[in-house]
Structure 1
């Protein structure tokens, strides 16, 4: 303990010998360092706040971009579904040609379920279920109409063939009249065939 008392006395004597202008520099430096530390702490706090805001903004922007992409793709799928309904009346297109665009884009509607709110999901579910029911109803009607169209095409073909046969018989009748051959039985046969055709 004695040693430590002498030590403190020696240090105190050394400190008394230091000029007061030096103490002014030391105290000024201390206040400067304290000011820098306070400024750094405040700057650090501001940077942390800015970083947190930028992080939240980036997350929000990413979510908005994702929503935009998903909703735009879903809107395209809805438009393709509506277009397919309009194309059902074109009997020159096959069923695959009618629904291919919608079938390619329909999975985009399912992605809406991941990011949308409940009311939006319910609206899309209602749309897709009504669209599916409408497709089944219209495809059934289209099948009936296609069957009738095919029957008409078959009848048109038969009418065309019968018309050719009728024209051929008419040509034979003209030749018979031009040649002046008096063949009652031949004439009668040509008349019966013409009426049959």
Structure 2
């Protein structure tokens, strides 16, 4: 121990100054490196967070815009249901795009938005079931129209066939009252059938038009209720996307749109009924 102390005391002060300076320099470098590493780590975390936020915003934007597009298609589909042949098509097919887009939206949306969208999807499902019940009389009227039109065309074809036979009979200068009388009776019978089918088709069309007007009027009421549920969904979507949203302004605008739409539909129905 004494030898070690003597060795340390024998080292010149200049050497000790150099050693101390070196240690201080090394300490400064280590501290600087640690600070730089800390700043770099913070920067990387910030960049990673920003990129994740950008990816989420981009994904949400795509999903939300798709949902808005499919929502418009769904509304148009519901209005066109009276013209559809439900024996050949599935009434729910026109809503599948909206249901699929809504499912994607619920995966990336904020909890409040996802909840409101889920309720909106449920409202559309319930509305579709109610519409299917109202569509049954319309489908029967359409079926009656198709059947009577087909029978009318068949009877008219028979009338034309018999008239052709009568024309050939006259042009061949035949004289057979029994044959000609039979042709006349056949022509009259087929013409009577054609008239009956035409009247039945006309009655079915009248029934269909009456039911269609009733359907559209009730659908407008239903869509107004659906529209009231759409407003908070749109508000939350805009909030998720970082867009401003004025609930009162959107509410007023939606009510104004429904009022104008209702007036236009009433005018259209009145014009059709007047014609």
Give the TM-score, by structure 1 length: 0.70
Query: Which residue of 1 is the match for residue 187 of structure 2?
Result: 194
Q: Distance in 2 between matches of 1:175 and 1:167?
A: 12
Deviation at 1:180, TM superposition (A): 5.7
Q: Please, which runs of 5 or more residues in structure 1 have no aligned partner?
A: 1-6
User: Given that residues 99 and 121 in structure 2 are in contact (C-alpha distance below 8 angstroms), is that contact kept between their aligned partners in structure 1?
Assistant: no
Root-mean-square deviation (CA), in Å? 3.4
Deviations 1:8-40 (A, max 9, x none): 3x3333233323332221122122122122212
User: Given that residues 84 and 99 in structure 1 are in contact (C-alpha distance below 8 angstroms), is that contact kept between their aligned partners in structure 2?
Assistant: no
Q: Distance in 2 between matches of 1:114 and 1:174?
A: 75
Query: Which residue of 2 is the match for residue 181 of structure 1?
Result: 175
Query: Which residue of 2 is the match for residue 170 of structure 1?
Result: 163
SS for the counterpart of 1:88 is: helix
SS for the counterpart of 1:95 is: coil
Answer yes or no: is 1:159 the counterpart of 2:152: yes
Within 5 Å, give how 1:60-71 maps onto structure 2: 60-68=53-61, 70-71=63-64
Answer yes or no: is 1:133 the counterpart of 2:126: yes
| Larger Rg belongs to | 1
Query: Which residue of 2 is the match for residue 4 of structure 1?
Result: none
Deviation at 1:126, TM superposition (A): 3.7
Pick which of 80-89 and 25-34 moved more. 80-89
User: Given that residues 63 and 101 in structure 2 are in contact (C-alpha distance below 8 angstroms), is that contact kept between their aligned partners in structure 1?
Assistant: yes
Within 5 Å, give how 1:1-197 maps onto structure 2: 7-8=1-2, 10-68=3-61, 70-75=63-68, 77-85=70-78, 87-91=80-84, 94-96=88-90, 99-100=92-93, 102-103=95-96, 106-178=99-171, 179=173, 181=175, 183=177, 185-197=178-190
Higher relative contact order (Cα pairs below 8 Å, separated by 6+ residues):
2
